[in-house]
Structure 1
Amino acid sequence: MRVSSSMLYQQGLASMTNQQSSLLHVQQQLGTGRRILTPSDDPVAASRALEVTQASAVNDQYATSRKQANINLSMESNTLTSVVTTIQNIQTLVVQAGSGSLSDADRASVATELQDNYNQLLGLANSNDGNGVYMFAGYQSATPPFATNASGAVQYNGDTGQQLLQVDVARQMPAGDDGRSVFMSVQGTATYVASAPAANTGTATYSAVTVTDPTNPLYGHNLSLNFATSATTGKMQYQVIDQSAVPPAAVVAPVDYVSGTGIQVAGLSITVSGTPANGDSVSLQPAQQAGTDIFANVQNVINALKKPVATDADRAALANALATANRKMSNSLDNVSTVQSSVGSRMQELDALNTIGSNRTLNYTQTLSGLQDLDYYSAITQYYQKQTALQAAQQSFMQIQGMNLFKYLQG
């Protein structure tokens, strides 16, 4: 095979160019610390690195969502702590108002304190995050969730929506709670509430309702104790009416009333004392049906304390109103405390997910390092090898360049 001088030059130059390119590639690897500079360097590893990078980016987004959820839940937790304190203050004032030594003026003073706590509670219910987002408004977070209507009652203008944040691969977490579930609801385990209609004229008062047998067939029904004088004996009697039946029906035959004796009915126990008037009644309602609006409950107490107390019937009506209010406030407190516990549980879960997310980030980082990072010892060795190869190619080219027949002819 005949080898021309031009072919020698071309091959020599090509060899040096290839060696220079290889040396430059190693120099770039050393400069960046990366083994893979282009996908062609290692297609399989490059593809795997892309998948890991994408998974790491998604994991970082989960971490951002968890951070936002934790901020929202922390603000809600702080607000609910203040709500609990306010409710406890209201309960203390309700108990104080029941003292028989208070005058009308004293009760009016207590009503004023209750009004202050009522306003504070309403302000807490309309709390926002400082950016105009109301935390208890559901999806209607741009407007205050609670407002006073024309009749003076507080109404809820939000909805029951909850902002769900994707805090992990398979976990969407509510980043807040709506105002209706916090301030206008009670737990399913809340006990019965006893109440007396304003039309009562007797002096009968009642104790709190206790549950004795939740398996009773009538447990959970709306009941009433109706008092009436027996036409036969002239004695005061009571009859239990199931108001949940259609139409309402008597549960048992009329029973002679004895003041201070416990009344057992539908798995419940209640003690009525004093002298009821003919036609008086006492309602026994499940907590969910007895009025769950905490604002309405406080307002009812304020209204009751503002009424003058002149007769025994007035005193009985006030005592019953306070007893009903105290039970409802206890149910509301239990509900808020349950929501607060739920918020705390979610924050604990976020802490656990943060730990998992951090470990996942570490795994991704280690995997990417194994795929992409440069082995400096091997790269430096390659650098010197390729540098030597380039120098050898250059020297070889210089020698080949001197192999020219014209050089000898000229001599």
Structure 2
Amino acid sequence: MRVASSTLYQQGLASMNYQQGSLLHIQQQLGTGRSILTPSDDPVGATRALGVSQAQAVNGQYATSRKQANIALAAEENALQSVTTVTQNIQTLLVQAGNGTMSDADRGSLATALEGLYNQLVGLANSDDGNGQYLFGGTRSGSAPFTQSKGPGAYIGDNGQQLLQVDVARQMPAGNTGREVFMSVTGGAGYVVKGNANNTGSATFGTVSTTNPSDPDYGLSMQVTFAANASGQMEYTITDLSAGTTPAPVVKGPIAYTSPAHIDVAGVSFNVTGDPKDGDTMTMAPASEAGTDMFANLQTVIDTLRQPTPDSSDRAHLGNVISTATRQFSNSLDNVLTVRASVGSRMNELDALDDVGSNRDLTYSQTLSGLQDLDYAKAITEYYQRQTALQGAQQSFMQIQGMNLFKYL
């Protein structure tokens, strides 16, 4: 069989190209430190490496979300710490306001001080994160959540939560709404008693205590109504306001009133002292139904302190307002502290998730290393083998090139 010179050249060239390509491939592996440069090098390994790389990228995004959540929660914690301080200062001034020896001018000064704390509270409720996003606006974080144009501290945010995906199966709220912080109470807040602003007598109520939370009527709103009987003896009757009927059904009474009277109903008790008049009323309701808005409650106190107290009924009204506000702000402080505890719990959870995420990232890196990293000893050996093969191919081609009849002419 005749072998054409062109065939010899093509075969020699193909052999050199193959060896040179193989040498270049191993050089690229040595340069990058990776054994898989293209999917064709190891289709199965390349597919697995792609899946692990994507999982590692997603894990990195979780870490970014956790960092963002931590920043938001830290800003909220700072704001709540200040809210706690302001609320405690309000409680201190409420105790001072309950001093019966204060003059109208003294109470006016207290009202001014409370107004300053009111403004501080509004400012804290409208805190932002430094980037123009309000902390307590819910999903409407682009505008101030509280405004005074629609009444004392009116909330114009929403109840939505900004959720961040901080791990594979964990979405975490990055903050709390203004309603949760400034307009709510905890589930165990108990009862709040209020006097009627239209009362004409001097009856005042004392500390409210929960005596039997398993009472079947516990949790219902009640009203204590004072009325004189036919003989002029003052009596009181307790009715169930939760029934929603007129007249409200009677729970207790009529019972003869003597000061101090110990009222015990629906698992709740408190004392009433003073001289009520015919038609005077007091209401007792679960804290969640008895005014949870910190701004409205504080405004009521400020307005009442600025009113003169020329007679006993005015002084009784002032005392009842102070007593109600004291209980309300105690409940509000408990709520703020509960929210702070929730914030701290979420920050601790983020720290734990960071540890888990770091360990997961290390596992991904180790897996990728096993799939992609180059065995340098093996690669260097192969490099010299390819280099020797290329040199052999080149020398063979030079010898074959000289095998033709023209050199003998």
Taking the aligned partners of 2:400 and 2:315, their CA distance within structure 1 comes to 123
How do residues 383-394 of structure 1 correspond to structure 2 at under 5 angstroms? 383-394=383-394
AA aligned opposite 1:396: S
Report the CA distance between 1:30 and its aligned residue. Answer: 0.7
Distance 1:11 1:121 in 2: 88
Moved more, 91-100 or 137-146: 137-146
Give distance in 2, aligned partners of 1:401 and 1:15. 14
Match of 2:236 in 1: 238
Which residue in 2 is equivalent to 1:129?
Answer: 129
Question: How do 1:321-332 and structure 2 match up within 5 A?
Answer: 321-332=321-332
The DSSP-based 3-state class of the residue aligned with 1:251 is strand
> Residue 169 of structure 2 aligns with which residue?
170
CA contact (8 A) 1:148 1:154 kept: yes
Please report how far the alpha carbon of residue 393 of structure 1 lies from its aligned counterpart in structure 2 after TM superposition: 1.9
- Give the C-alpha shift of residue 91 in structure 1: 0.4
Matched position secondary structure for 2:216: coil
1:222 aligns with 2:192: no
How far apart in 2 are the matches of 1:156 and 1:395? 88
Question: Per-residue CA shift, 1:93-120, capped at 9, x if unaligned?
Answer: 0001111222111111111100000000
Secondary structure of the structure 2 residue equivalent to 1:279: coil
1-10 vs 91-100, which moves further: 1-10
Deviates more, 1:307-316 or 1:358-367: 307-316
Moved more, 152-161 or 338-347: 152-161
Task: Give the whole-Å Cα distance in 1 for the aligned partners of 2:305 and 2:51.
Answer: 69
Instruction: Determine the C-alpha separation between the residues in 2 that align with 1:89 and 1:120.
Output: 11
- CA deviation map 1:179-212 (0-9, x unaligned): 1121111122211001100111222111121111
Deviations 1:59-105 (A, max 9, x none): 11111111111111111111111111101100000001111222111
Q: Match for residue 66 of structure 1?
A: 66
Aligned-pair CA distance for 1:2:
4.5
Q: For residues 149 and 34 of structure 1, what CA distance do their matches in structure 2 show?
A: 66
Unaligned runs of 5+ in 1: none
Q: Secondary structure at the match of 2:144?
A: coil
Task: Give the TM-score normalised by the residue count of structure 2.
Answer: 0.96
For the residues of structure 2 that align with 1:392 and 1:294, how far apart are their CA atoms?
A: 90
CA distance in 2, matches of 1:308, 1:53: 74
The corresponding residue for 1:97 is 97
In the TM superposition, what is the alpha-carbon distance from 1:216 to its structure 2 partner? Answer: 1.2
Amino acid at match of 1:129: D
Which position in structure 1 is the counterpart of 2:27? 27
Q: Secondary structure of 2:252's partner? A: coil
Distance in 1 (CA, whole Å) between partners of 2:253 and 2:81 is 48
User: Structure 1 residue 374: deviation in Å?
Assistant: 0.9
1:193, 1:208 within 8 Å by CA — same for their partners in 2? no
2:249 aligns to what?
249
Letter in 1 for 2:145: P
Whether the 8 Å contact between 1:34 and 1:373 is mirrored in structure 2 is: yes
Distance apart, 1:404 and its partner CA: 3.0
- What is the one-letter code of the residue matched to 1:166? Q
Q: CA deviation at 1:301?
A: 0.8
Tell me whether 377-386 or 253-262 shows the greater mean CA deviation.
253-262
Deviations, residues 255-288 of structure 1 (Å, cap 9, x unaligned): 1123224221111111111221222121111111
Distance in 2 between the 1:273 and 1:171 partners?
Answer: 54
Distance 2:101 2:242 in 1: 40
| Correspondences of 1:197-208 after superposition (within 5 Å) | 197-208=196-207
Partner of 1:209: 208
Could you tell me which amino acid in structure 1 is paired with residue 180 of structure 2? S
Structure 2 counterparts to residues 274-289 of structure 1, below 5 A: 274-289=274-289
* 1:12-411 alignment runs, 5 A limit: 12-149=12-149, 152-232=151-231, 234-245=232-243, 246-247=245-246, 248-407=248-407, 409-410=408-409
Secondary structure of the structure 2 residue equivalent to 1:254: strand
Q: SS at the partner of 2:136?
A: coil
For 1:54, the aligned partner's letter is Q
Q: Which amino acid aligns with 1:363?
A: T
Which amino acid counterpart does residue 176 of structure 1 have in structure 2?
A: G
**CA displacement, residues 18-39 of structure 1 (integer Å, 9 cap, x when unaligned):** 1111111111111111111111
Q: In structure 1, what is the Cα distance between the partners aligned to 2:289 and 2:50?
A: 58
Query: More deviation in 82-91 or 257-266?
Result: 257-266
TM superposition shift of 1:314: 2.3
**Deviations along 1:301-346, whole A, 9 cap, x unmatched?**
1111111222222222211110000001111111111111111111
Cα distance in 2 for residues equivalent to 1:73 and 1:183: 17
Measured after TM superposition, the shift of residue 4 of structure 1 is 4.2
Aligned partner of residue 217 in structure 2, secondary structure: coil
Q: CA deviation at 1:3?
A: 3.9
Aligned residue identity for 1:227? F
- Structure 1: distance between partners of 2:28 and 2:189: 71
Following the alignment from structure 2 to structure 1, what is the Cα–Cα distance between the partners of residues 136 and 9? 82
Residue 242 of structure 1: CA displacement? 0.8
Provide TM-score, normalisation by structure 1.
Answer: 0.95
Amino acid in the other structure paired with 1:397: F
The share of aligned pairs that are identical, in percent, is 63
CA distance in 1, matches of 2:21, 2:64: 43
Counterpart Cα distance in 2 of 1:7 and 1:174? 74
* Deviation of the 1:387 alpha carbon: 0.9
In 1: Cα distance, 2:218 partner to 2:143 partner: 41
Letter in 1 for 2:141: S
The count of corresponding residues between Structure 1 and Structure 2 is 407
Distance 1:187 1:360 in 2: 38
Secondary structure at the counterpart of residue 358 of structure 1? helix
